[in-house]
Amino acid sequence: MRINDSAIVERLKELGVELRAAVSLKEKTSLGIGGTTDELLLHRYDTIPQVMRLLADAGIPHRFLGGGTNVLIADGELPWVVLHLPVAHPGMRAEGNSAFVDASADLGGMVTFCAKHDLGGMEGLIGVPGSVGGALRMNAGAYGTQIGPWVREVELYRAASGEVETVRGKEIRFDYRHTSFAPDDVMLRVKLELPSKPYKEILAGIKMCNEKRRASQPLNQKSAGCIFKNPPGGSAGRMIDELKLKGHRVGDAEVSDRHANFFVNLADATCDDMQRLIDDVRERVRAAYGAELENEVIFWRN
């Protein structure tokens, strides 16, 4: 989608928004898949409600893209523009047992920043790619750690009210890879409360998680992490592996030979290739186990 109206372009500039025309989202996602659209870089937090109102009034559909590490985006010309939050440096502050972090910050960067301030508990999240905002929305987790339990407050833009609001941790439901945030809530900042732990101890935990991850996941290939959620009490990766589907391919989309719940883009996979591979594997698991695998990766269809 293109924003061509010069009055809108001018007003966006006044609101501190940088407009980049016809950007390929292939370059913006860890899967290396995605079509083309205009990209809006918001350089200021305070104008977000005005920017959102302007887009709504002009009838310009939009989506917020965070780290792009858990999303499968349609190919071709996309019918919505993509927004990015302002990146602050470093966008993190520690105060006693609290950490205040911008949603656009890198998740791994947040874990190491907290570690340097002797704040632990999040070691398992090291190596989970993506932004803090994406991790909050999905309640990202690994190796027995999820972000949810550490959250005390979230500042967000609530599309339903058109306002920036602060929500207390207790008011948010954090489930397995799911939260009670509305789909159009935009995470802006988070306050975490973390246990004190010596830096060296946290570092040892980080090292252990990194080693486990390196040993079991295809980290040097283009992927969106796990494609399916684990069914209750089961493991999607083990089921797919047992069906001998490692290496199973549609076009350039392939079930990783390292971890069967990671689907990788070998070179030029399209969204359609990936989607067909996902549907095919889901169907085979349903036929063999009677289990319905739910997507973990988020689909942005056009």
The CB-of-136 to ligand EPU minimum distance in angstroms stands at: 14
- Looking from the CA of 283 toward its CB, the CA atoms found within 13 Å total 6
Establish if 187 lies at the interface with ligand EPU (CB under 6 A): no
| Among 56, 42, 18, 1, CA closest to 9 | 18
Site for ligand EPU in 214-273 (CB under 6 A): 216, 225-226, 229-230, 235, 237-238, 241, 259-261
Binding of ligand EPU at residue 142 (CB under 6 A)? Answer: yes
Q: Nearer Cβ to ligand EPU, position 91 or 237?
A: 237
Closest distance of CB 210 from ligand EPU, Å: 11
Assess 125 for contact with ligand EPU (CB under 6 A). no
CB 240 → ligand EPU: shortest distance, Å? 7
Q: Which residue has the tokens 């109102």?
A: 53
- Asked if residue 70 lies in contact with residue 31, where contact means CB atoms within 8 angstroms, the answer is no
Q: DSSP letter for 86, please.
A: P
Number of residue whose CB is nearest ligand EPU: 225
Q: What letter represents residue 292's amino acid?
A: E
Subset of residues 283 to 302 that bind ligand EPU, contact rule: CB under 6 A: 296
Q: Does 143 bind ligand EPU (CB under 6 A)?
A: yes
Q: Name the residue with tokens 């959250």.
A: 151
- Contact, 100 vs 92, CB < 8 A? yes
Rounded to whole angstroms, how far apart are CA atoms 94 and 96? 7
Give the interface with ligand EPU as residue ranges (CB under 6 A). 142-143, 216, 225-226, 229-230, 235, 237-238, 241, 259-261, 296
